[in-house]
Amino acid sequence: MSTAPQLVVHRDKELMAQAAAARLITKIVDAQASRGSASVVLTGGRNGNGLLAALAAAPARDAIDWSRIDLWWGDERFLPEGDPERNVTQAREALLDSVPVDPKRVHAMPASDGPHGTDVDAAAAAYAEVLARAAGPENHGPVPTFDVLMLGVGPDTHVASLFPELPAVRETDRTVVGVHGAPKPPPTRVTLTLPAIRAAREVWLLAAGEDKAQAAAIALSGAGEIQAPAAGAYGRSRTLWLLDGPAASQLPRSLYPPASP
């Protein structure tokens, strides 16, 4: 069952990143207090990396027990290990290299020079297996119940590497698939599918900048998920859209509360 999206609109992208980082710290600390550990799915792109950089700069980051958190990715560019375009490489630079995270709990998606070579479908299947092994009986499914799963929203309404009309957004059985011929370079990617995304307790969609305004308006106007993948991304208990003013500029005022300070 989908959860109705809640919207928070910030004045600019810097404020949005700082507020989202503060929100994420609170969510992780609460999860660790109630369940012993936390599970978070990271996203790349300018908004995802902006949030991670803001988290790295936040004094409250030390409230997190970094040894008791599992980090996953919503998608990855299928490039060699260490490639600067890989989401995990960017996440290490923005945050992970500066906090005492347990390397065994950082679950990067396979690289194109990894054990599966250039077979992106085998790499996707391997990541699906890692997720399945991490899912306990209480998760009732093939992936863990992530505490927070973050997604950047593309100008074409894509989330993770689920692009409008392409086969990956239509997938209903598998949790992770290889993407061939993505319209945005690089063309070969690994991505979680909508069923895996919807296993999360909370899904946060990040959109900042005027180039995201039309995508936000389409996704929040009742569009179908095949045409607008962002419309199909929702959490079990909460779906949160975090926007800046320019990204929210085409939304009807009735959709969102007064801007945050």
Per-residue confidence (pLDDT) for residue 260, from 0 to 100: 46
Characterize the bridge pairing of strands 238-244 and 75-77. Answer: unpaired
Contacts of residue 137, Cβ cutoff 8 Å, sequence gap at least 6: none
Q: Which residue has the higher pLDDT, 259 or 154?
A: 154
Average pLDDT over residues 140-156: 95
Q: Is 1 among the domain residues?
A: no
Quick check: is 247 in a domain? no
Using CA of residue 184, residue 186, residue 189, residue 191, what is the dihedral sign? negative
Strand order in the sheet with 38-42: 5-10, 238-244, 202-207, 148-152, 38-42, 69-73
Q: What is the CATH number of the domain that holds 196?
A: 3.40.50.1360
Query: Which residue segment(s) compose the domain that 201 sits in?
Result: 6-239
pLDDT in tens, 177-234: 999 999 999 999 999 999 999 999 999 999 999 999 999 999 999 899 999 999 999 9
Number of domains in the chain: 1
- Give the residue from 10, 8, 101, 18 showing the smallest Cα distance to 55: 18
The set of long-range contacts for 115-119, using a CB threshold of 8 Å and a minimum separation of 24, is 118/78
Instruction: Say how far apart CA 246 and CA 170 lie, in whole Å.
Output: 30
Q: Per the domain annotation, does 136 fall within a domain?
A: yes
pLDDT value at position 261?
42
Global pTM?
A: 0.96
Mean predicted confidence (pLDDT) in 117-131: 97
Residue 253 lies in a domain: no
CA 23 to chain centre: 15
Q: Is residue 255 part of a domain?
A: no
For the chain, the straight-line distance linking the first and the last C-alpha, in angstroms and rounded, comes to: 32
Domain-located, residue 249: no
Looking up tokens 């593309």 gives 154
Q: Is residue 50 part of a domain?
A: yes
- The tens digit of pLDDT for each residue in 229-258 reads 999 999 999 999 999 999 999 998 777 665
